[in-house]
Amino acid sequence: MTDFSQPLSQDFPQPFDVAIVGAGAAGLYTALCLPSHWRVALMTKDDLTLSASDWAQGGIAAVMAPDDSPAFHVVDTLRAGAGLCEVESVEFLVNQARACVQSLVELGVAFDRRNTELALTREAAHSRSRVLHAADTTGRAVVTTLMAQVLRRDNITVLAESFVLDLWLVGDPVRCRGVKVLVRQQVQWLQAGAVVLATGGGGQVFAHTTNPPLSTGDGVAIAHRAGAQLRDLEFFQFHPTALMHPEAPCFLISEAVRGEGAQVLDAAGDRFLFRYHPDGELAPRDVVSRAIFQHLQDLGTPQGQVFLDLRSIPGDRIRYRFPNIIQVCQHWGIDLFQEPIPVAPAAHYWMGGVVTDLQGQTSITGLYAVGETASTGVHGANRLASNSLLECLVFGQQLKQLQLPLSLPLLRPDPQVKSLTLPPWQVDQPWIDQVRHQLPALVWQSAGICRHQEGLEQAVAQVDTWRQQFAQLALTQAFQAIAPGQGVTLVAAPPSSVLRQWGELGSLLEIAALILKGAAFRQESRGGHYRLDYPHSQEQWQVHTLVEGDRWFKSEPVTPPPMAIPLDLATS
C-alpha cells in the first residue's frame, strides 16, 4: 500500500490509493475488486443513481449452456468485429465470463431463471442462447446491486457531483498522480497512487442517441488532453431500434426483443430486412441500422421511421421479458400488444476509446481505463450484443492485480485555498447553449450512420472553430489559469449546473473532433463506420487508427483470427 501522509484539505481525506472516475458498472465493480485495505475514491458527476449502465436493457453474454462453448462465443465476437478484434483480448473476455457471472450472483444480482437454472436468451449475431438478463433492466439490476455493495465498504469514499476536469501529471517520464476536480464551487486537486477512468461513452455528441444525458465522453477527452494514446474513435455503433415518438426522449428498444422474434416492418407492412442480409432482424446491428437508413432513403422519407412488431411473440412472454419496455410504450400511448412500435436508428455504443492492455493500463503510467471509455481490443469495428457489460466486469476485476509503487513522494500543493473571482460568465451562456444544441445535429448529419469526405471535412472545420471559441470563453480561461495543486474557491460563480454544462461542452467538442477526424482518416467501410465514398472494406485498412495529441497514424496490421471470417461480413 502506498505510504501517504497528510491530506491536501479538509474536504477530501486524501491522498487515496486509487481514484476512480465514473460510477457505472465498470467503476463500481472495479472499486469492489480493489484490495479492501486500499483507500479508494469513487467520483461521479451525478450521484450513484445515474449511469449509462443503468440504462442497459439487453444482458450479459456468457457461455453457460451445455450446447455452447467459449470457442463459439469467440467466433461470434470476431465475426461481429469485422477483422479488428484482438484475438487474445477476445479469448480472455470469453474465458473470464462465467466466473464474473458467478461473482454477480454471489453479490446478489437476481438474474432471470427457468426453474432453478439461469435463463438464457439469444441476441443478434450470437450463434447460441448465452445472454443472461434480469427482465429488460439488466443494467439497473447490476448497478443497483453493485451500488449497495460499494456503500457498505468503509474503504470506498463516494464523491458525488464531482466533475473531473483534467489529470494531474507530474515528473519526467510523466506519471498520473491524481485529478483536477470541480466540486460545486471549488476546484480541488485530488491526489492518488493511480487513476482509473470509467466514465462510459459519448453518445450525447449525436442528436439521436440511446445514451443518458451524462454520456458526454469526459474520460476520452480527459485522456486525450493528457496525451494518452486513443484508438478506433471512428467506430460508433448505431442501435437500429430506438423509440421514435414526437414527444418522447430517445429510448432503446432492446436487441433482445428481436431475439425473441419481433419483426421489423416498414409503413406498408413489408419485412424488408431480408433483402439486405439473410439473417433479417438477427443480422449485426450495423447492418440492420444501415438497412433501415437505406430503406427510408429509397422510400423518400429519410427522417422517417419503421416499426417493430412484437405481435408474433406470446403475450405472457412479452410481459415476463420486457416489463420496462411495456411501461415506457404505454406512457407514450403505444400498446405494443396491439400495434407495432415506431423505431429508428440512434447512436448507442462507442467501440473506440483509450488504449489499454489486459490489465487496464494506458500509455500513461499510473492511468488506467475500464468499460466503454477503454479500447481493450474486444469489440473491434462492431461490438457483439451484450459483450459490453461483460467487458466492464472482466476488465474491472483485472484492477485487483494493480501494483502501486511501494512509495511515492507526497505532492505538496499550495496549502491555502485561494479565492478566484470569475469574470461575468453570463456573457458566455448564450454561446454555450447555442453550440450545445448545434453540435450534436452537425455530428449526426456528418458522422452518423453514413459518412462522406466532404461532409466530414466541413464538420471538422466547424468544430475546430467552435473549439477555438470555447478556449476564449471567460470560464475556460479562468480554469486554465489555476496552477497544478492550487485549491480554489470560485467567487461570483455560476450555478453548478452551468459549470457542468460548460465542462461537458468542452468534452463534447473534444470527442466530436476526434470522431470526425477518425472517420475522415479511415478511407473504407467496416463495422460501425460506413463511408458512402468508400463503401467496401479494404485489406490495407485491417489496422487500428491511433491518435496521440494531433498525430494520427495506423497500427501494424491486425493479426487475422485463426478461422476463415469474410472481411466484409459485417459491412455486406
Task: Work out the end-to-end distance of the chain between its first and last CA atoms, rounded to an integer number of angstroms.
Answer: 52
| Cβ neighbours, 10 Å, residue 127 | 12
Q: Please list the alpha-helical segments (H only) found in 486-559.
A: 496-521
DSSP-derived 3-state class of residue 96: helix
Three-point CA angle 104, 105, 107, nearest 5°: 60
Distance CA 189, CA 191 (A): 6
DSSP H stretches of helix in 8-124:
25-33, 70-80, 87-107
> Rounded to whole angstroms, how far apart are CA atoms 402 and 17?
11
Active-site position among 122, 140, 285, 531: 285
Here the contacts of 120-123 (C-beta below 8 Å, separation 24 or greater) are 120/64, 120/65, 121/59, 121/256, 121/259, 121/260, 121/321, 122/259, 123/58, 123/59, 123/61, 123/255, 123/256, 123/258, 123/259, 123/385, 123/386
Spell out the residues 6+ positions from residue 215 whose beta carbon is closer than 8 angstroms to its own.
52, 200, 201, 202, 203, 204, 209
Question: Does 173 sit behind a cis peptide bond, omega within 30 degrees of 0 on the bond before it?
Answer: yes
Give the number of other CB atoms < 10 A from CB of residue 84: 26
Cα(363)–Cα(154) distance, integer angstroms: 31
Residue 439, φ and ψ in degrees, nearest 5: -60, -50
Q: Which three cell numbers stand for residue 523?
A: 478511407
For residue 424, the one-letter residue type is P
Cis bond leading into 345, ω under 30°? no
Question: Which uninterrupted H or E stretch holds 350?
Answer: strand 341-350
451 in catalytic set: no
Q: Would you say 222 and 275 are in contact if contact means Cβ atoms under 8 Å apart? A: no
Residues recognised as catalytic = 285
